[in-house]
Structure 1
Amino acid sequence: MLSISRSNEDLQTTMRLTREKIIRLSHQITDVLVESEEVEFVDDRDTIRQQVVQILTATLKDEEKIELEVRKRITSQKKEILEGSEEWDVLHKKYYQDELRRMGIAAAPDDRHRP
């Protein structure tokens, strides 16, 4: 089972995706791709669906690693920063973007508009 944590004020919300949920999502994604006129399958539908499962699983694992690293960076600050505080949220957002950039997963919003 994979989980994704997100801070929401004083409450930590965890969304869990079981293997069954990932498989259900893979079917839904594949259905959308099949219906799209812009997508042409070169492999059979089940092979594509299995690739979607692998991509979703890998992405969720990467996101979990990023979340752990961000929390580690925040807790390693000299002063204690309470989760859910404005300062925690600002640092979380900044460090999360830093980790995404470092891993080459996504550009930070500010980077997208630079020439």
Structure 2
Amino acid sequence: MRISRDKVNKLAHTVADTLADVDEAEFLEDRNTIRQEARKILEMLLADEVKIDAAARGKITSQQRIILEGTQEWDILYRKYYNDEVKRLGI
């Protein structure tokens, strides 16, 4: 999934703000550092998702016969290959 940098920053702000409101969470760094780390983690997860998506799509296109995107068969194979790739990467 592709998300704009602004949206990733908004999510990172939300994560930092939410953690600041949780009594069980204690910041050892300032809130901006927490926000930046949250942004980095979100960007890494989104990059991993793009790789997983590409791998699943690649496996579908490598089939001997053509499977059209949007068909039930394509959806089933996509979910299967996507989940296999997630397991393989240990996410």
TM-score, normalized by length of structure 2?
Answer: 0.95
Aligned-residue RMSD, C-alpha: 0.8
1:71 to 2:57 alignment: yes
Stretches of 4+ moved more than 2 A in 1?
Answer: none
1:19 to 2:5 alignment: yes
1:45 paired residue among 31, 38, 41:
31
Higher strand fraction: Structure 1 or Structure 2? 1
Q: What's 1:7 paired with?
A: none
Q: What's 1:99 paired with?
A: 85
Query: Unaligned 5+ residue runs, structure 1?
Result: 5-15, 106-115
Map 1:103-114; keep pairs closer than 5 Å: 103-105=89-91
> Percent of pairs identical after alignment?
48
Q: Which amino acid aligns with 1:87?
A: E
Query: Unaligned 5+ residue runs, structure 2?
Result: none
Q: Which amino acid aligns with 1:71?
A: R
Q: What's 1:60 paired with?
A: 46
Could you report, residue by residue, the CA deviation over 1:67-94 in whole angstroms, capped at 9, with x for unpaired residues? 0010000000011111111111110011
TM-score, normalized by length of structure 1?
Answer: 0.76
| CA distance in 1 between partners of 2:41 and 2:78 (Å) | 25
| CA distance in 2 between partners of 1:20 and 1:27 (Å) | 10
Q: What's 2:75 paired with?
A: 89
| CA distance in 2 between partners of 1:60 and 1:21 (Å) | 12
Could you report, residue by residue, the CA deviation over 1:11-32 in whole angstroms, capped at 9, with x for unpaired residues? xxxxx41111111111111111
Higher helix fraction: Structure 1 or Structure 2? 2
Aligned pair count reads 91
| CA distance in 1 between partners of 2:4 and 2:26 (Å) | 29
Give 1:37 deviation, angstroms.
Answer: 1.3
